[in-house]
Structure 1
Amino acid sequence: MVWTWRFEKADGAAVSPQDDGGSFASRGDAESWVGEFYGDLADQGVDQVTLMEDGQVVFGPMSLHA
């Protein structure tokens, strides 16, 4: 299983941040990474993220704003 994040504007349009985290071996690793870097992602224009497992949506979209 490969876990990745999809990065989007509020309207669902794709955004490519400087660091997308790559892929993760577990959901926990992916969630820890976004928890650490969500502020940086928001500063780069990412409004929401969606967690993907092997290309399938698992969770989200989740807003990066309060």
Structure 2
Amino acid sequence: MAFRWRYLDAVGEPVRGPEEIFDDQAQAEQWFGGVWEELRADGIDAVVLLENDGTGDTEVYGPMSLQEG
């Protein structure tokens, strides 16, 4: 299993972001907790956590907004 983040703009379209791959969900969430403000500053509006089991990506949760409020 591998986990990664999908990054979305304000209208929900995918945008470029860091291409980090994590061994488990906890690692992905810990990394995200340290960089979410930078991602927001770079114009990323929301994220989706994806899990890949070798056959394709499955959404774990999201989209999760990075905007305040």
Instruction: Flag whether TM exceeds 0.5 (same fold).
Output: yes
1:11-59 per-residue CA deviation (whole Å, 9 max, x = no partner) reads 1111112xx1510001000001111000000011100000000011011
Q: Percent identity?
A: 36
Cα separation, 1, equivalents of 2:16 and 2:22: 17
Matched, 1:5 2:27: no
Cα separation, 2, equivalents of 1:3 and 1:50: 10
Instruction: Please give the secondary structure, in 1, of the residue aligned with 2:61.
Output: strand
Two-structure CA RMSD over aligned residues (Å): 0.9
Amino acid at match of 1:41: L
Normalized per residue, the structure richer in strand is 2
Instruction: Please give the secondary structure, in 2, of the residue aligned with 1:12.
Output: coil
How far residue 10 of structure 1 moved from its aligned partner, in angstroms, is 2.3
**Match among 51, 60, 63 for residue 62 of structure 2:** 60
Instruction: Name stretches of at least 5 consecutive residues in structure 1 with no aligned partner.
Output: none
Cα separation, 2, equivalents of 1:59 and 1:52: 8
Q: Which runs of 4+ in 1 moved over 6 A?
A: none
Amino acid at match of 1:3: F
Taking structure 1 as the reference length, what is the TM-score of the superposition?
0.91
